[in-house]
Structure 1
Amino acid sequence: MTHAQKQPARKTPAQQAPAQETPTQETPGRQDKAQGPASAPASKKQPATLYGGAKNRRVTIRDLAAAKERGEKWPMLTAYDAMTASVFDESGIPVMLVGDSMGNCHLGYESTVPVTLDEIAMLSAAVVRGTKRALIVADLPFGTYQEGPTQALRSATRLVKEAGVGAVKLEGGERSAHQVELLVQSGIPVMAHVGLTPQSVHSMGYRVQGRGEEAAQQLLRDAKAVQDAGAFAVVLEAVPAALAAEVTRSLYVPTVGIGAGAECDAQVLVWTDMAGLTPGRVPSFVKQYARLRETLGDAAKTFAEEVVSGSFPTEDHSFA
């Protein structure tokens, strides 16, 4: 049976998890009898939320499943270094993606295609070291999973063992379902990515995906295929808002939108786009929440001018 054919309904990640839990991995909203009566004052309970919730442990895929069930939306940002990741972690961002978008905005490549597994592993480890709470998801770069499930497992295992990430992400729907299935069966959580898949830029370009009845039905099949294979979430990139809303209603796992409208369960942006650090034009779906490129440029110019004029360093910045 192929993944495009009808398959038995699968349990959500929260239902699949073992019944036994450690005290630091409680299911949101669950009352442990050993911890006191269920009638404890609500004001003393920690909020069962992803953004602004408990900070004494890492966010897990169980938390994301619970958020889907209660209708909570959540934010995700990319991160590529320990310092930036620590800022986002302290700000309450529950999920961070060490994306192969690092190729464009961090490593100077023209696309995500040249990014290597070594580069992903190194920067993922830095992000993990810089965070305490967020679930860290690392991209499997182009050429590290397309050969099949065995190659995907080898690549993903390296990111989990060497970098310490909590999950991996890979692109593709039906064509990647077998990879997703083996990784999940092996204990590695997988976030899937359908719609516009940047690693396929040479074949599909940077265009909105899912327009037209046939394309929309294929995208829906792709999303369901990776869900049925065990993915805990599905990224929808550059998809018409109405179609993304339909996909979100059709899946029991969270959808993460990027240029896919407001009805997705979560939203992700490349952090350099979000913070106004990216030069030139940014995609139309990006909202810039700061002008960091301008701020850094002004700081660098002021520093340079003070050095040239001799006003820096002063006695306050010198040793006696």
Structure 2
Amino acid sequence: MTLTRLHEMADRDEKIAMLTCYDATFAKLMEHAGVDILLVGDSLGMVLQGAENTLNVSMHHMTYHTKSVAAGAPNALIIADMPVGSYEHDNEAAYKNALWLIRSGAQMVKFEGGGDRVQTARYLIDRGIPVCAHLGFTPQSVNQLGGYKIQGKTEESAHQITQDAIDMSNAGVSLIVLEMVPATLAKHITESIKALTIGIGAGVDCDGQVLVIQDLLGIYNGAASKQPHEFKAPRFVKNFLCETNSVKQAVSNYVNAVKSKTFPTPEHSY
């Protein structure tokens, strides 16, 4: 999988199926099930480490898991998250950290936010590192945002997200993840920019979709410090495993649902 192929898919209106992945076993399974992009997400802080957020994930964590995923899926397009503190304050440091992830097996790096982050994106792209932006709800800013809340509901907020997407696209980012924004806003952004959009809780009109694999399998039930009954899955989550007794078939069903535009439905969107 290459960026050129992704754009060819978008040109013929074929949706892009993306899943998070943290290890070689799932990476191999996903590649054979037809997943187009594997995201080594800093969500591993919650899913694998049991934390309440992503804020304690380090570059060492990210490089370790990126190497594991790359070993299992040599033909997939792999994107690695830049963890909090690895890119925000110094473009040269951002470049060194991004290069570390690329050398660990990623073909692209992802980081959160717009505004000043546009300069960071351009700095990396000018030095040959493909970038995926992440707008809308940005988990690394969960405390600043006041929790896990939909973004872009007000006119001002929607305008800011749209402008950030335009600026990121003009800077040369390849993909933009739109998380927990209204479907109508995501559709407008997708139609307005050159970069490809990947939605999570952002409606069916994005160029592709992403889910956390543990959410797709219905096995994530919140932070380790809390009881499972206290956890409520986000609206955008669908358990594909309950439709079959096979993990591989569940992943294949997700890919097929994304490609056929039957997922996400309005009930999985905002």
Question: TM-score w.r.t. structure 2 length?
Answer: 0.84
Task: Report the Cα distance in structure 1 between the residues aligned to 2:238 and 2:181, rounded to whole angstroms.
Answer: 17
Task: Report the Cα distance in structure 2 between the residues aligned to 1:271 and 1:88, rounded to whole angstroms.
Answer: 10
- Distance apart, 1:132 and its partner CA: 2.6
Name 1:189's counterpart in structure 2.
Answer: 130
The RMSD of aligned alpha carbons is 1.6
Structure 2 counterparts to residues 93-112 of structure 1, below 5 A: 93-112=35-54
Task: Report the Cα distance in structure 1 between the residues aligned to 2:156 and 2:86, rounded to whole angstroms.
Answer: 30
- Distance apart, 1:101 and its partner CA: 0.5
Post-superposition CA distance 1:190-217 (Å, at most 9, x none): 1110000000011002111011111111
Supply the AA of the counterpart residue of 1:198. P
1:68–1:253 Cα contact (<8 Å) kept:
no
Identity of aligned residues (%): 40
Task: Report the Cα distance in structure 1 between the residues aligned to 2:246 and 2:160, rounded to whole angstroms.
Answer: 44
Q: Indicate the structure whose relative CO is greater, using CA pairs within 8 Å and at least 6 residues apart.
A: 2
Name 1:250's counterpart in structure 2.
Answer: 192
Structure 2 counterparts to residues 57-206 of structure 1, below 5 A: 59-161=1-103, 163-204=104-145, 205-206=147-148
Matched, 1:282 2:223: no
Q: State the SS of the aligned residue for 1:138.
A: strand
- Distance apart, 1:275 and its partner CA: 0.9
Task: Report the Cα distance in structure 2 between the residues aligned to 1:211 and 1:255, rounded to whole angstroms.
Answer: 19
- Distance apart, 1:68 and its partner CA: 2.1
Task: Report the Cα distance in structure 1 between the residues aligned to 2:237 and 2:100, rounded to whole angstroms.
Answer: 32
Supply the AA of the counterpart residue of 2:233. V
- Distance apart, 1:106 and its partner CA: 0.8
Supply the AA of the counterpart residue of 1:197. T
Post-superposition CA distance 1:149-194 (Å, at most 9, x none): 2121011011111x12111100011221011101111111111100
Name 1:55's counterpart in structure 2.
Answer: none
Task: Report the Cα distance in structure 1 between the residues aligned to 2:239 and 2:137, rounded to whole angstroms.
Answer: 21
Supply the AA of the counterpart residue of 2:120. Q
Name 1:46's counterpart in structure 2.
Answer: none
- Distance apart, 1:295 and its partner CA: 9.5
Name 1:52's counterpart in structure 2.
Answer: none
Structure 2 counterparts to residues 293-304 of structure 1, below 5 A: none
Structure 2 counterparts to residues 7-22 of structure 1, below 5 A: none
Count of aligned pairs? 236
